[in-house]
Structure 1
Amino acid sequence: MKSKNRLLTIMLIILVSITLVGVIAVLIIFQLNKGEEETGPTIDEIVESSVDIPEITTNLAANKFIRISLKVQTDNPKAAEELMKRDFQVKNIVITELSEMTPEDLEGKQGKANFQSSLKTKINELMDEGEVQQVYITSYIIQ
């Protein structure tokens, strides 16, 4: 009787250990697959689907001037091609947005993030093919 209880205990321990190892293996596999799925576009893909907006000099609302250059990242190369054709419209949007802003509106990370978000929204309203993913400020001077 004693040996049967001992044998049963050993079998239960082995069964629980095998189950635990299996659960850990499954969790590790899901984590590895999750990491692979979340990888975004490569830098080459980002560059291929991005458009440079050359330096723009314009007035701000507070009698100050700003010089700014941008890079606009789209979700695909066709959208980038469309954006290049619409460069005059994009420049108009940038100038119009900046004409309503003061230097204080552009201060700090949050001010720049708000400006970038506003541009992204307004440019996306123009787009027929694809959409803008991100607007980057590549140079920026207020005088």
Structure 2
Amino acid sequence: MFKNRIFILAVSILIAITLILVAAFVLWNFMDKSASSANPADAAKTAASKVKPTKPPTAAEVQANTVIIKDILTNLSSNKNFVKLSLAFEMENAKAKTEFDHLVESTVKGTVVRILADVNPEQIQGSKGQDFLTSTLLNKLNPLMQDGKIRQIWITDMVLQ
């Protein structure tokens, strides 16, 4: 009976050591791959070489592909504050603008209100707060688009009370 316990203990220790070694091997390989791409300058050069140069849109193209939503008024997460804002959404192309126009009343305004319901006034104050809000909107709304993407979101008017 005593020999049986020692055998089970020895097998358990061997299994534990094997699992630790396997985990260390996997971690080592993962760290090795991430270390090779750790140089930001090389990563930036590689990414830049893959980008196809495009001609920036003209002012007329920007105006033609922009959707403006005025006066969205909603409470923030604190329920003591509210925000009223107007947004301009610059689209990639005319198809994206048409699709976005169909989504404005339901999906887009609802998404804006939901995002604002989860933030407090400090999160959207100042330029960093506006960057946070526009990037959050961009990340939530672009997956809804099929005929193009939102290129840029501009906060054209914002009152925080």
TM-score after normalising by structure 1: 0.72
Task: Trace 1:14-53 onto structure 2 (pairs within 5 A).
Answer: 39-53=55-69
- Aligned equivalents of 2:66, 2:94: Cα separation in 1: 8
Alignment partner, residue 76 of structure 2? 60
From 115, 128, 143, the counterpart of 1:110: 128
The higher radius of gyration belongs to 1
The total of aligned residue pairs comes to 107
Q: Deviations over 1:2-26 (max 9, x none)?
A: xxxxxxxxxxxxxxxxxxxxxxxxx
1:70, distance to aligned residue in structure 2 (A): 0.2
**1:51 counterpart letter in structure 2:** V
Query: Is 1:84 matched with 2:127?
Result: no
- Structure 1 residue 39: Cα displacement: 4.3
Question: 2:13 matched to which residue of 1?
Answer: none
Instruction: Give the Cα–Cα distance (whole angstroms) in 2 for the partners of residues 131 and 39 of structure 1.
Output: 17
Distance 2:150 2:94 in 1: 11
1:110: how far off?
Answer: 1.1
Which amino acid in the other structure matches residue 141 of structure 1? V
Partner in structure 2 of residue 72 of structure 1? 89
* Cα root mean square deviation, aligned: 1.1
Question: Whole-Å Cα distance in 2 between the matches of residues 97 and 132 of structure 1?
Answer: 17
Distance 1:131 1:43 in 2: 18
> Which 5+ residue runs of structure 1 have no aligned equivalent?
1-36
| Cross-structure match for 1:95 | 113
Could you tell me which amino acid in structure 2 is paired with residue 76 of structure 1? N
Runs (4+) off by over 4 Å: none
1:119 aligns with 2:156: no
Q: What's the % identity of the aligned pairs?
A: 33
Partner in structure 2 of residue 10 of structure 1: none
Q: TM-score, normalised by structure 2?
A: 0.64
Letter in 1 for 2:82: F
Structure 2: where are the runs of 5+ without partners? 1-52
Closer, same or farther in 2 for the Cα pair 1:140/1:47, shift >3 Å?
same
